[in-house]
Chains A and B, each alone.
Chain A
Amino acid sequence: MSFAMAFSKKEDESGLSSYYNNKTTIIQEARVFNESPISPRKCRALLTRIVYLLHVGETFSTQESTTLFFGTTKLFQHKDSALRQAVYLAIKELATTAEDVIMVTASIMKDMQPNSEVIYRPNAIRALCRIIDPSMAQGVERFFKAAIVDKNPAIASAALVSAYHLFPHAKDVVKRWVNEAQEAVNAKSQGYFGSVSTSSSFFGGGNQSSAQTIPSSSNITQYHALGLLYLIRQQDRMAVTKMIQQLGGGKSGAGTTLKNAMALCMLIRYAAKVMEEDPNVQRQMVELLEGWLRHKSDMVNFEAARVICEMKNVTPAQLTKSIAVLQLFLSSPKPVLKFAATRTLASLALSHPTSVAACNVDLENLITDSNRSVATYAITTLLKTGNEASVDRLIKQITGFMSEISDEFKVIIVDAIRSLCLKFPAKHAAMLTFLSGVLRDEGGYDFKRAVVEAIFDMIKFIGECKEQALSHLCEFIEDCEFTKLSVRILHLLGIEGPKSSQPAKYIRFIYNRVVLENAPVRAAAVASMAKFGVNSTDAKLNNSIAVLLNRCLDDVDDEVRDRAALYLKVFKTQTLVEPYIKEDSVLSLAALESKLVSYVKDATASAQPFDVSAIPKISRAQAALESARPSTLDTIGVPAAKSTSSAPPPPTAAETQSAYAEQLAGVAPFANYGPILNSSAKPLPLTESETEYQVTCVKHIFKEHIVFQFNVSNTLPDTVLEQVTMAMQTEDAGLTQDFVLPIASLSAVSSPGIAYVSFTRDEPEDYATATFQCTLQFVSKELDPSTGEPEAEGYEDEYQIEEVELSAGGDYIVPSYTAFGAEWDRLKAGPSVTETFGLGASVESLKAACDSIIEVLNMEPLGGTEVPTSSSVHTLQLSGLVTGGGGKVLVRCRMTFSQGVGVTLELGVRAEKQDVCQLVVSAVGG
Chain B
Amino acid sequence: MLKIKDLSVSIEGKEIIHDVNMTIKNGETHVLFGPNGAGKSTLLMAIMGFPKYRVTKGNISFKGKDITGLTMDERARMGIGMSFQRPPVVRGVTTRDMVAACLKGSGDGDAIDMLASKANLDEFLERDINYGFSGGEIKRSELMQLLAQKPELTLMDEPESGVDLVNIALIGELMNELLEKNCPIQYRKCMGLIITHTGHILDYVNARTGYVMCNGTIGCVGDPHEMLATIREKGYDECIKCYLGRVPF
- Do A and B truly interact? no
Interface residues of B (CB under 8 A from A): none
